[in-house]
Structure 1
Amino acid sequence: MEKETILVVDDEKEIRDLIGIYLANDDYRVLKAGNGIEALNSLEKENVDLIILDIMMPNMDGMEACMQIRKDKNMPIIMLSAKSEDIDKIMGLTTGADDYVTKPFNPLELIARVKSQLRRYKRLNSSAALEKNEAVIEVDDLLINIDTHEVKKGSREIKLTPREFDILLLLARNKGIVFSIEKIYEMVWKEEFFQSDNTVMVHIRKIREKVEDNPRKPRFIKTVWGVGYKIEN
């Protein structure tokens, strides 16, 4: 069986080597690059199954590299960054990354995330999914099809309004990140938020009524009191 290939992109050689050792111990084939330009060059020559991509690098940083990669490739990308603020995570994920790990990190946790992303990628890119050309996000038994704007829970189709779909998609694309009511409104409605506006809360309530078994004890959309809403990893 051919080994899966992981490209590790970081301007610090010590970090590249450390990650490489742990990946090799799990029987992955490891490629290394010191910046975004080197990473893009590697991708032209090699078939890569997953990329671990640092954000802060010279010549071409991780954000720019991620956007370039996403123009024609869809393998999983895990971003590394010394920044831990939610806004930095959001920026990383919205450029096309699948996961975000903050430095300093536990190498074993990083390897676990690599395995998780590869499993998910294989599942979503099975022959059936490729034939349908679907872009699907999974949250437990909830399936969100980005291309067709369909939401299914098990075999049951759930009818959402366009706004409800956009809110659910925003949270599902950024699992684990808490979005304030203001941020949700500005990103979905593309308008300035007014403090007295309860539009977002009304939409969240309606989404929960449609997707949750018990809206009073939500399994998908969690409330972080005093902060906002999130979907768990």
Structure 2
Amino acid sequence: MSNAPKAHVLVVEDDQPSRAVLAYLAEDQGRVRVSQAATASEMHAVLARDAANLIILDLNLPDENGLSLARQLRTRSDVPIIVVTGDVSRDTRLAALEIGVDDFQTKPYDLKELGLRIRNQLRRSMAIRRPGQVESSARVAFDRYVLDHSERILERSDGVTIHLTRNEFMILAALLRRRNSSVSRAALLDAIGNADDGPSDRAIDIYIKNLRAKIEADQRDPRIISTVRGFGYRLTG
């Protein structure tokens, strides 16, 4: 039996029945440790004593706006965030993506699908680079970085791990596959593969903006990911 510590998921949802369902999905038959919070203040209290590997966040909380809360979390931590909300507006989805949340699910959600999304985020969050790991086709170097496909992480040359959301990772991987070539927005939408979520060209631009913030020395003068006006983007390096 493995002695590895369990992953810790924090569910932040003010509606008790919904919170219970989310906690049940996150627990994954006892494989995951789950904490629950009904308010932003309770969430802060939990995180003050116990770091989380994943936060499932409702946007409609009684004491604080969920988008503001997500922004606070992202400024001080790379912990994966899955937003679960009844707000189906495009503006809210784009605002959440711009903040840097890792996934966005609207209610009512499919229980099996959400359970899989939770497990996928946890698997990436808990991934630890194996000592002595060598360069392989699964590890692609560019500029000052290495994109590790097996662990789904981005490493900087000084050893720092750069957190990428799922969609940021998929877009960066797609650009790397066609390094030094122009890649259309449509091709990048296909790379995301979230047809049910209805992503748009605007969403691609937001993902690129977030990627540039993480890897470019100067976002106003990007040297790694350049814009191909009216078409898409190109990665060089």
1:30 — aligned with what? 34
Deviations, residues 25-56 of structure 1 (Å, cap 9, x unaligned)? 43211101112222122111102110000011
SS in structure 2 of the partner of residue 70 of structure 1 = helix
SS in structure 2 of the partner of residue 55 of structure 1 = coil
User: Which stretches in structure 2 are left out of the alignment for 5+ residues?
Assistant: 134-154, 210-219, 221-227
CA–CA separation in structure 1 for the residues paired with 2:54 and 2:5: 15
Q: 2:6 aligns with which of 3, 8, 12?
A: 3
1:219 — aligned with what? none
1:80 — aligned with what? 84
CA contact (8 A) 1:78 1:99 kept: yes
CA–CA separation in structure 1 for the residues paired with 2:193 and 2:96: 10
TM-score w.r.t. structure 1 length?
Answer: 0.63
Question: How far 1:96 sits from its partner (Å)?
Answer: 2.2
Deviations, residues 77-119 of structure 1 (Å, cap 9, x unaligned)? 0001112233221111212210011111222222110011122
CA contact (8 A) 2:83 2:105 kept: yes
User: Which stretches in structure 1 are left out of the alignment for 5+ residues?
Assistant: 145-150, 191-197, 212-233
User: 2:109 aligned with 1:105, yes or no?
Assistant: yes
CA–CA separation in structure 2 for the residues paired with 1:32 and 1:85: 26
2:65 — aligned with what? 61
CA–CA separation in structure 1 for the residues paired with 2:66 and 2:192: 19
SS in structure 1 of the partner of residue 176 of structure 2 = strand
Q: State the structure with more CA Rg.
A: 1
What amino acid sits opposite 1:159 in the alignment?
N
The 1:180–1:23 alpha-carbon spacing in structure 2 relative to 1, beyond 3 Å, is closer
What amino acid sits opposite 2:109 in the alignment?
F
User: 2:179 aligned with 1:158, yes or no?
Assistant: yes
Deviations, residues 8-35 of structure 1 (Å, cap 9, x unaligned)? 0011111111222233343211101112
CA contact (8 A) 1:40 1:69 kept: no
2:146 — aligned with what? none
CA–CA separation in structure 2 for the residues paired with 1:64 and 1:173: 26
The 1:173–1:34 alpha-carbon spacing in structure 2 relative to 1, beyond 3 Å, is farther
1:216 — aligned with what? none
- 5 Å-filtered alignment, 1:177-196, equals 177-180=198-201
User: 2:18 aligned with 1:15, yes or no?
Assistant: yes
What amino acid sits opposite 2:71 in the alignment?
M
- 5 Å-filtered alignment, 1:167-178, equals 176-178=197-199
